[in-house]
Every structure is written in C-alpha cells, then in structure tokens.
Chains A and B, each alone.
Chain A
Amino acid sequence: MQTVYPRLVELLARFGVPETEITLDSTFEDLDLDSLTLVEFTLCAEQEFGVKIEDDTLNRQDTLKRAAEVIEIQGAAV
C-alpha cells in the first residue's frame, strides 16, 4: 500500500487528475474517470507494476485503496 498508492497518484496525473483531489478513499467516480478512462488507467497500472488485472476487477465505485490492494495481491513489482 505504502509504495503502490503514491505511484497510482502519479499515474493519475497522466490523466489530468490533480494530486490535490486524490485521497486513499477517493473512488474513480469521485475523480471523474469514466469507464473508458478506467480501462485505460488499468492498462497503465498493469504496465507500471508488471501485473495482470483481469477485466472488471476494478469498477468506478472502487477506491484507490482497493485498487492498491488488488495490485499488491497480484504481486506488484515494487
């Protein structure tokens, strides 16, 4: 969590989401990521962390905390 979350925040900057808007409890919906953007974000996260995130694992109601946990469980290259 401690290593994954900050990198998720950095990834979100690529999508124009300012760091100041993001907390561990922010959902993707809160951050105004639509479904296509979430797919794209997931692709970027897979590349960033060297993991495979199956389709529909993450949805717009999930928080960044949950996303970080999913990535850690997949054995992120940290």
Chain B
Amino acid sequence: MTAALRPFDAAITGLGMVTPAGIGAAASWQTVCDADGTAAAPDPVLDGLRTDFSARVPGFDADKLLGRRKAWRLDRCTQLAIVAAGEALADSGLDVAAWDGARVGVVIGSGIGGAATWEAQHKTLLDHGPGRVSAMLIPMLAVNMVAGYIAMEYGARGPNLVVATACASGASAIGVARDLLRSGACDIVLTGGAEACLIPSIVSGFAQMGALSKRREDPRTGSRPFDAERDGFVPGEGAAILVLEGLADARARGARVHANISGYGSSADAFHATAPHPEGRGAEQALRLALRDAGVGPDSVDHVNAHGTSTPLNDAVEAEMIRRVLGDQVTVTSTKGVTGHALGAAGAMEAAFTALTVEHSFVPPTANLSQQDAGIDVDVVAKAGRHQPVEVAVSNSFGFGGQNAVLVLTPGSPGGQGESSQRPSSAAV
C-alpha cells in the first residue's frame, strides 16, 4: 500500500450542461430539482424496438447553436460537448483569447463516440457501396475526436485525452483531469463527458441484454432508481463539461467556485462483463480510495449522488455498499430518475449536479420513486428535494467491464455555499 498523495482541491469554476433535463446548467438543474421525469418520451428513431423510448436532449439544434459550417462536420456527440464546453467557459469567466493554450488540457469521457455517424455510414456502404461513404466518417466517429475538437475550438494545446470506462467515463475523465492539475501538467482542464448513441443498433444491444426499462406505456416513469418496481434504465444522451483549476489559482483570479473535486478513486471489479460484483467489491474500493484521496473519513460524508441506474441489480448492490461504508445517515439521490442514463456522459452530468447540490445546499429528489424497494436500506431523497448543508459529497459511477470511478466534492467556499445564489424556485419546499 503506497502513501496517498497530499489532498488537492480542483476548483470547478465553470459548468456547462446539455442534458435531457435541458440545454444549459441552470435549466438542467431546475428540471432535476423539480424531479420532472418528462425527459423520457417515445423516440421515432427507435420505432419498432422492444424499448422504443429514450431521454433525448430537448430541442437541440446544432445548426443554430454552432452554425451550419461547423455543425455538419461533427457527430452529435461532439456537438453536444462543444455546446456544453462553450457554456462552461463562459461561466468560468476565463478569457480564452488571452490564456496560455499550452497549459490548458482537455479530458473527456465517452463510451462510444460517434456511433450515429457510424451506423448511418454503414447503411450507406451497404446500400450504395464504398464510393459513397463520407470522407468525414473517421473524424466524426472516432471517440478521441470529442476532445480533439474542443481543443481546436478553444486553442487548448495541453494534454488531450478521451477516457473510456463505459458508464463511468465522465467521472473517470474528471478524475484524470484532477490528476493532471495536481501533477502540474496543466493549469486549466476542460473535462467532463459526452454521449449520443440513441440509435437502433446500440439501443437494441442494451435491450437484448435486458438492461432497459420496458415501461412503454409510461416512458416518463421508466427511470425509477431504488423503486420497488424499477425494471431497467432509460437510455439517454447529453454532455456536461466542467472547467477545473487549482483552487489557489481560482481564488487568485477571484473566480466563483461552484465546488471542488477533492477526491477521486478508481478501481475494477475484475469479475464480470456487465454484472456488478455481488457485494460491490470494486465500487467499495473506489469509494474508500476516493475518501482517502480527499483526506476525509466515511463518517464525514453527508450526501451521495448515486450511480442509481434503475436496474434491479445495480441499485440493490450500490445501496448496500453505501450503507455498509457510509452508514445510514447520508442522503442518497439518483438524478437518473430525470435524465435517464446518459452512459459515458452520466458521470460528468452527475458530478455537475453534485457540485450544484453542494453549492446550493439542496439535494434534488430521485424522480419516480414512489415505493422504495424494501431491500434498500438507505435514506433516498424522494418526492421533494431537501435543504441540507453538504460539506462532503460523493458521486458514484460504475461501468460495464466492472470499471468504477468515485469523486468526492466539497464546497468551493469555506463553510458551505458558493457565491452563486441561483437556487431554483422549486428549492423552496
């Protein structure tokens, strides 16, 4: 066992979100606080599939948001990421024109990358032959391009990576970004996750393995983490980008700090391709590592933003692991009740929601939780959000392949709330 590195706080100085809960961090947070599960709806693209509903980003118009000249070259996954990155940078107050791009890194998590482009071009190949395949196929589908295009957009010439740990990708990316800051490899990192694979082949694959909700008659209640009648996840999409800087740097320039990334733990179950270890062995290891990395004990944790996918197995194993390690006093929520499961973007979206939870001292409720599973013995916040000072929060993310990433978040300003006061109206409950 090696000694832990000294604790290091990476300040979240910018947030950008493009999620099924809305375009923009404020819109997404509001929808999540309202526990509004309307994100999931019948999806014409999935017509004829066993699960023919999904949680899409509502009204996303890439031509309008990015301009046609840029938008046509990018897969939707990258489009979502670039829009989120633009919001995050504006929120950070950093002057992109003046920064030293060589000191700016980009680390993005994505499970699959440009899947929709790949599927469409494969159809072109089969229908019309190789001479009609797009010259843009490779730069549109390759998963690394998400980070590459963000770098091109903003002149970020530092380390540039895409991290793929399936449904933990977004959280893993943020952890790696934090490590780059701590190592001194860069001064600023744009990090987060992006995913856009709501296409027939991918959704069929998830359906065939029995991972998806079959609640066709009422899709908006399909994602119901920790509920007794949960039956699988609702496939989603989206992007969330965080601007990270060392806390000292952020304070020196007078930046508003939403929250800090103070700990990161990463592990593998080394057990099964898709099922979690039955005792949550890898998840527990990642959680304990993250707490140790942050220099806090399990009894310091106030709140957990759970992976909480709404699958029978994940939620049971995760809840039991949370109770075992953190006790029964922590509040637990899963924002996937609103957003569905955005796969490689989920960990980043949830890190952003956790940062806003810490900033606003408000835990959003788990949508669609009407009857908590009797076997789940943790304090899941349901129906209405809860005002709660949060000094130490945990965001869990677990991926197929048994890949786990846990982040620890702490307040950006000593003693609780950040400087922003944009608490959503629904918080007054």
A: residues with CB less than 8 A from B are 13-17, 32, 36-37, 39-40, 43, 47
7 contacts between A and B (CB under 8 A): A14-B72, A16-B70, A16-B71, A17-B69, A40-B136, A43-B134, A47-B132
B127 to A: closest C-beta gap in Å: 12
A16: chain B residues at CB < 8 Å are 63, 67-72
B78 to A: closest C-beta gap in Å: 15
A39: chain B residues at CB < 8 Å are 135
B71: chain A residues at CB < 8 Å are 16
Q: Does B139 interact with chain A (Cβ within 8 Å)?
A: yes
Number of A-B contacts (CB under 8 A): 27
B: residues with CB less than 8 A from A are 63, 67-73, 132, 134-136, 139
Instruction: Please pick, from B69, B134, B139, the residue contacting A15 in the complex, using a CB distance under 8 A.
Output: B69
Give A42's nearest chain B residue, CB to CB.
B135
- What is the bound-complex CA distance between A16 and B69, given in angstroms? 4
- Identify the interface centre among A15, A16, A36: most chain B CB within 10 Å of its CB: A16
- What is the bound-complex CA distance between A36 and B71, given in angstroms? 15
Given contacts A14-B72, A16-B67, 17 further A-B contacts (CB under 8 A): A13-B68, A15-B68, A15-B69, A15-B72, A16-B68, A16-B69, A16-B71, A16-B72, A17-B69, A32-B69, A36-B136, A39-B135, A40-B135, A40-B136, A43-B132, A43-B135, A47-B132
- What is the bound-complex CA distance between A39 and B132, given in angstroms? 11
A43: chain B residues at CB < 8 Å are 132, 134-135
B120 to A: closest C-beta gap in Å: 14
- What is the bound-complex CA distance between A33 and B72, given in angstroms? 13
User: A-B pairs with the 8 shortest C-beta distances?
Assistant: A16-B69, A16-B68, A39-B135, A40-B135, A36-B135, A40-B136, A15-B72, A16-B67
